[in-house]
């Protein structure tokens, strides 16, 4: 449905523009016209004259406009367990943190979601996601609280309704009290889809089915979770091939590596995206490419947990859809996606196989925008600046000390310091102006998240 002639228009002019369209079209100085919640036009020079119903004109001099950033993997609740187990690998870190995580309640989940969302929105994220898989008994409506926080912040949102049903007594990693039953997890996931999933073009909330990982869920939960997602027409998300320990676990328990195990449970396909995918051999990458299974690349978290370097250049070459994720902030305390553009480029160049040919700045920007939209199943709606798409865009300020002398604006954004956001729009609605959130009080969120982190630590210490 095109915007009608009467839709209010926002005109942005005089900025550099990286559209991230299929041809990587860029303008050294161009314009964007937003009509209602859609992009009406993008092009070089000034906007067409005599546009009707212009409610706002933005002078973008000194700025770069890009599509809004799309985060494809996160765990919001971890915002209140940052800075713990800082010298651990994945399995030791999980075992250290599960007992604390299993004490979260609705107020903590809401507050942590606000913190995670505020940090990302302030840094240019217009589509967020949360993979939430900790649902302690009697903890209230955690999914509802998280969705409410995203809706209040004004960002587009995918809640990946996670679950765990393989605890220590079944050879899994989480403690017995931290998991749901198979039936309970499936029923609650279906309820969440029915209550909140919106399949429309301009949806603000979508739900995915997201059992946590091979070492915390049963084979049956993976199989029935995939059937549920396909029956409901929603996407599937999980963690995969994150560490050598996970690979060993899969071989010991299932007699095969993670990718073969996922394929045997119905978990490869163009409606699936997986976080990490660090330990992939050539045939694993070929299987992802053949099935168009997506990847959420999380370079900072992979480095923090010493997991390794995902083979992103090989995945892209093979045609695997790849987006970027911050991962939970218990393994990436910064929680900002724009810094992941830089880290994706730098970390992949450290892989001795690829070196300087690994990724360039434009590929990094594409991972964080169009690539993310693709793995979330929303590439026709967001992820690039093109007429007819939703008006999710960011105006990055590049004319101050940090960036003014960098020759190329895309290199400035990707390789330079984290650039401030002068304006971000989600569906044509402003969410950030001049570096500040418009719909949330950052200082109040800082206080409430500190209080909730302390309350959780006290409860966990008493348990
Ligand atoms: Zn994760």
Within a domain: 453: no
User: How buried is residue 357: exposed, middle or buried, by Cβ count under 10 Å (0-12/13-18/19+)?
Assistant: exposed
**pLDDT band per the 50, 70, 90 thresholds, residue 431:** very high
Average pLDDT, the chain: 96
Does residue 252 carry a pLDDT above 90? yes
Residues 276 and 169 in one domain: yes
- In this prediction, residue 177 carries a pLDDT of 87
Give the whole-angstrom CA distance, residue 273 versus residue 240.
Answer: 9
Residues 394 and 369 in one domain: no
What CATH number is given to the structural domain containing 23? 2.30.40.10
DSSP, residue by residue, 292-303: T-EEEE-HHHHH
- In this prediction, residue 4 carries a pLDDT of 52
What is the mean pLDDT of the segment spanning 160-183?
93
- In this prediction, residue 5 carries a pLDDT of 59
Within a domain: 424: yes
1 compared with 40, residue with greater pLDDT: 40
Within a domain: 193: yes
Within a domain: 47: yes
What is the phi/psi pair of residue 421, to 5°? Answer: -100, 120
Q: What does the angle CA 249 – CA 252 – CA 255 come to, to the nearest 5 degrees? A: 115
Q: How far is the CA of 459 from the centre of ligand 1 (A)?
A: 24
Residues 265 and 349 in one domain: yes
> Residue holding tokens 């001099």?
61
Per-residue pLDDT tens over the stretch 41-96: 999 999 999 999 999 999 999 999 999 999 999 999 999 999 999 999 999 999 99
Q: How far is the CA of 49 from the centre of ligand 1 (A)?
A: 48
Q: How far is the CA of 447 from the centre of ligand 1 (A)?
A: 25
Residues 35 and 167 in one domain: no
Residues 428 and 313 in one domain: no
Residues 281 and 414 in one domain: no
What is the phi/psi pair of residue 90, to 5°? Answer: -50, -55
Residues 291 and 268 in one domain: yes
Domain end (from 375, 392, 417): 375
Q: How far is the CA of 266 from the centre of ligand 1 (A)?
A: 21
Within a domain: 208: yes
Domain end (from 357, 375, 393): 375
Residues 273 and 188 in one domain: yes
Per-residue pLDDT tens over the stretch 310-352: 999 999 999 999 999 999 999 999 999 999 999 999 999 999 9
What residues contact 32, with CB distance under 8 A and at least 6 apart? 11, 12, 17, 39, 41, 42, 47, 65, 385, 393
Residues 307 and 396 in one domain: no
Angle, in degrees to the nearest 10, between helices 106-122 and 442-462: 140
Per-residue pLDDT tens over the stretch 361-387: 999 999 999 999 999 999 999 999 999
Q: How far is the CA of 384 from the centre of ligand 1 (A)?
A: 26
Work out how many domains the chain is built from and give that number.
2
Domain with 138, as residue range(s), is: 69-375
Residues 365 and 412 in one domain: no
Does residue 295 carry a pLDDT above 50? yes
Domain end (from 347, 375, 403): 375
3-state helix, strand, coil in the chain (%, to 5): 40, 20, 40
What CATH number is given to the structural domain containing 255? 3.20.20.140
Q: How far is the CA of 91 from the centre of ligand 1 (A)?
A: 12
Residues 45 and 138 in one domain: no
- In this prediction, residue 188 carries a pLDDT of 97
Within a domain: 170: yes
Within a domain: 448: no
Q: Which residues surround ligand 1, an ion (CB under 5 A)?
A: 275, 327
DSSP, residue by residue, 410-426: HHHHHHSSPPPEEEEEE
Distances (CA, A) of 300 to 36, 160, 211: 36, 21, 23
Does residue 1 carry a pLDDT above 80? no
DSSP, residue by residue, 327-381: --TTS-TT--SHHHHHHHHHHHHTSTTTGGGS--HHHHHHIIIIIHHHHTT-TTT
- In this prediction, residue 365 carries a pLDDT of 98
Residues 252 and 394 in one domain: no
Within a domain: 447: no
Per-residue pLDDT tens over the stretch 260-292: 999 999 999 999 999 999 999 999 999 999 999
Does residue 357 carry a pLDDT above 90? yes
């Amino acid at each position: 449905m095109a915007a009608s002639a009467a839709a209010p228009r926002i005109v942005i002019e005089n900025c550099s523009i990286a559209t991230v369209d299929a041809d990587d079209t860029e303008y050294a100085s161009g314009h964007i016209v937003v009509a209602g919640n859609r992009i009406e036009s993008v092009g070089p020079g000034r906007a067409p004259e005599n546009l009707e119903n212009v409610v706002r004109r933005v002078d973008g001099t000194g700025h770069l406009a890009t599509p809004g950033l799309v985060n494809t993997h996160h765990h919001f609740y971890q915002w209140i367990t940052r800075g713990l187990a800082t010298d651990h690998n994945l399995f030791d870190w999980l075992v250290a943190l599960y007992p604390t995580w299993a004490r979260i309640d609705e107020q903590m989940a809401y507050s942590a979601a606000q913190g995670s969302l505020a940090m990302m929105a302030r840094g240019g994220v217009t589509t967020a996601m949360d993979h939430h898989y900790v649902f302690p008994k009697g903890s209230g409506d955690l999914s509802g609280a998280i969705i409410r926080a995203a809706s209040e912040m004004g960002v587009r949102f995918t809640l990946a309704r996670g679950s765990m049903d393989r605890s220590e007594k079944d050879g899994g990693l989480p403690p017995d009290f931290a998991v749901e039953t198979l039936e309970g997890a499936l029923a609650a996931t279906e309820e969440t889809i029915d209550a909140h999933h919106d399949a429309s073009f301009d949806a603000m909330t979508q739900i995915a089915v997201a059992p946590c990982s091979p070492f915390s869920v049963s084979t049956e939960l993976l199989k029935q979770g995939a059937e549920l997602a396909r029956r409901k027409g929603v996407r599937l998300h999980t963690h995969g091939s994150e560490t050598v320990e996970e690979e060993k676990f899969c071989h010991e328990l299932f007699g095969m590596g993670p990718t073969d195990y996922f394929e045997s449970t119905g978990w490869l396909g163009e409606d699936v995206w997986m976080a990490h995918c660090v330990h992939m051999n050539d045939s694993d990458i070929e299987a992802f490419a053949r099935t168009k299974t997506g990847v959420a690349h999380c370079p900072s978290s992979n480095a923090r947990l010493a997991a390794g370097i995902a083979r992103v250049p090989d995945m892209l070459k093979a045609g695997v859809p790849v987006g970027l994720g911050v991962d939970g902030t218990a393994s990436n305390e910064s929680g900002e996606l724009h810094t992941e553009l830089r880290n994706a480029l730098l970390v992949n160049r450290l892989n001795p196989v690829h070196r300087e040919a690994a990724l360039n700045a434009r590929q990094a920007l594409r991972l964080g925008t169009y690539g993310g939209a693709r793995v979330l199943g929303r590439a026709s709606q967001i992820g690039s600046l093109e007429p007819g798409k939703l008006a999710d865009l960011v105006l990055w300020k590049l004319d101050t000390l940090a960036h003014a002398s960098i020759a190329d604006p895309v290199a400035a954004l990707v390789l330079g310091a984290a650039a401030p956001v002068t304006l971000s729009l989600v569906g044509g609605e402003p969410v950030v102006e001049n570096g500040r959130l418009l719909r949330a009080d950052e200082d109040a969120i800082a206080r409430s998240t500190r209080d909730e982190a302390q309350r959780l630590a006290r409860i966990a210490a008493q348990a």
